[in-house]
Amino acid sequence: MEYIGIQAQKRRNDFRSMLLLFMFPCLVLGMVYIFFLLLAWLGFIEETETEGHFWLSVNSVYLNSVPYVLGVVFVWFTIAYFLNTYIIKVSTGATTLERKKNKRVYNLVENLCMSQGMKIPKINIINDESLNAFASGINERTYTVTLSKGIIDRLKDEELEAVIAHELSHIRNHDVHLLIVSIVFVGVFSMVAQLAFSTISSLSGGSSKKKNDNSDGAVILVLFLAIIVALIGLLLATLMRFAISRKREYLADAGAAEMTKNPLALASALSKIAKDPNIEAVTREDVAQLFIQHPGNKAEGFIGNLGGIFATHPPIEKRIRILEQF
């Protein structure tokens, strides 16, 4: 596979990041409007007595909600965007890799970075004997390469160097920045759907005390509508993420081959990774997409089952075949 120029790839990913940032509030506002349409159709919104009352009622409620929706979106995005490094670290169980005990890894990272004129990223380790790795961060201060204990212990130097080069290519191509934006983008719809689903479960499976069945039924219906709308938004957001996820792995493979001049080393490493990529600590589908190979069968939970339909990684066998043709 021909490797796209680094500057062209950076510009492409930066443009996609800005496009996602623009589309995020637009999609949220669109889903909110659909939600109010459904509420009005079911009679939950009081209609005005003027001509075209249905649409006037919907538009009035919607326009009044826009400032609040945008405020929540802004707060959510700001918190998730700037705390992503901490969130990913907690979600994967990663800790800082100590230089004194891992000079081999630091030497490989530093040599590759110096050869490319890159600033050396932070290096973390996941205490898991399986083989996997990923890159993360939104700028030079937060860029991080995370390796599992298994991948450090079980790969030869040239294989580990190739894996590190693959992750450095993600950083160099600005893939990690794009993926963080897409993770935050998808996360808001996932959160809404999960909250609504959990609330419905607690209401419908709650106590057998005397209760206002009509009131609970109305709440459940509204929450059910919220789930439908959130899942539509999640589906659209996931499809956008799916469209940008698979090619980046091929490009990072090509970047690693260019960086190390040894494509067969990465092919060999991928072959070993494919046999044991599962990282037990990783249960979130959005975090799983960061890894060099999907670190499990699928994420746990309601949304994980849905998200598992959309593979974010190309077949590893195909990646190996392409590397063997370099």
**Active-site amino acid positions:** 167
SS3 of residue 133 by DSSP: strand
Paired residues of 134 in beta bridges: 146, 291
User: Can you tell me the distance from the alpha carbon of 182 to that of 133, in angstroms, rounded to the nearest whole number?
Assistant: 19
User: Can you tell me the distance from the alpha carbon of 146 to that of 39, in angstroms, rounded to the nearest whole number?
Assistant: 46
Cα radius of gyration (the chain): 23
User: Can you tell me the distance from the alpha carbon of 317 to that of 326, in angstroms, rounded to the nearest whole number?
Assistant: 15
| 122-126 and 144-148 beta bridge pairing | parallel
Pair of tokens at residue 105: 């890894």
Under a CB-based contact definition with an 8 Å cutoff, are residues 262 and 104 in contact?
Answer: no
**Of the candidates 190, 186, 229, which has an alpha carbon nearest to the alpha carbon of residue 39?**
229
SS3 of residue 189 by DSSP: helix
User: Can you tell me the distance from the alpha carbon of 285 to that of 274, in angstroms, rounded to the nearest whole number?
Assistant: 18
**Of the candidates 306, 89, 287, 283, which has an alpha carbon nearest to the alpha carbon of residue 194?**
306
User: Can you tell me the distance from the alpha carbon of 179 to that of 292, in angstroms, rounded to the nearest whole number?
Assistant: 13
CB atoms within 10 A of CB 1: 14
Element (H, E) at 148: strand 144-148
User: Can you tell me the distance from the alpha carbon of 32 to that of 62, in angstroms, rounded to the nearest whole number?
Assistant: 8
User: Can you tell me the distance from the alpha carbon of 237 to that of 182, in angstroms, rounded to the nearest whole number?
Assistant: 8
**Of the candidates 176, 222, 247, 210, which has an alpha carbon nearest to the alpha carbon of residue 1?**
247
